Amino acid sequence: MQKENGNVTISGKTIGNGNPCFIIAEMSGNHNMDYSRAEELVKAAASAGVDAVKLQTYTADTITLNSNKDCFMTEEGGLWEGQTLYDLYRQAYTPWEWQPKLKRLADSLGIILFSSPFDCSAVDFLEDMKVPAYKIASFEIMDTVLLRKVARTGKPILISTGIATIGEIQEAIDVCKAEGNDKLILLKCTSAYPAPYEEMNLSMIKNLQNTFGCQVGLSDHSMGDEIAIAAVAMGANVIEKHFTLKRSDGGVDSAFSMEAEEMRVMVQRIRNVEKAVGKIDYSLSMVQKKERQFGRSLFVSKAIKKGEIFTPDNIRSVRPSNGLEVKYYDEIIGKKSTRDLEFAKPLEWADICT
156 with 185: CB under 8 angstroms? yes
Q: Is the dihedral of CA 347, 349, 351, 354 positive or negative?
A: positive
H or E stretch including 318?
strand 315-318
**pLDDT over 90 at 287, yes or no:** no
* Phi, psi angles (nearest 5°) of residue 116: -100, 115
CATH superfamily, region 9-58+93-277: Aldolase class I (3.20.20.70)
Q: Which of 139-153, 271-285, 306-320 has the lowest mean pLDDT?
A: 271-285
The model's confidence at residue 330, banded by pLDDT at 50, 70 and 90, is: very high
**pLDDT value of position 77:** 65
194-220 average pLDDT score: 95
226 with 241: CB under 8 angstroms? no
Give the CA distances from residue 232 to residues 22, 27, 100, 196, 213, in Å, rounded to whole numbers and listed in that order: 10, 21, 31, 18, 18
pLDDT of 75-96, one tens digit each? Answer: 776 666 778 999 989 988 999 9
Of 138 and 3, the one with more pLDDT: 138
The model's confidence at residue 5, banded by pLDDT at 50, 70 and 90, is: low
What is the CATH architecture assignment of 286-351? Alpha-Beta Complex (3.90)
pTM of the complete model: 0.85
**pLDDT value of position 1:** 31
Share of the chain above pLDDT 90, in %: 85
What residue ranges do the domains of the chain occupy? 9-58+93-277, 286-351
Q: Greatest CA span in the chain, whole angstroms?
A: 101
Mean pLDDT (the chain, rounded): 94
Quote the CA–CA distance of 308 and 190 in Å, as a whole number: 72
Quote the CA–CA distance of 112 and 101 in Å, as a whole number: 13
The DSSP result for 114-180, as a single string, is EEEE-SHHHHHHHHHHT-S-EEE-GGGTT-HHHHHHHHTTT--EEEE-TT--HHHHHHHHHHHHHTT
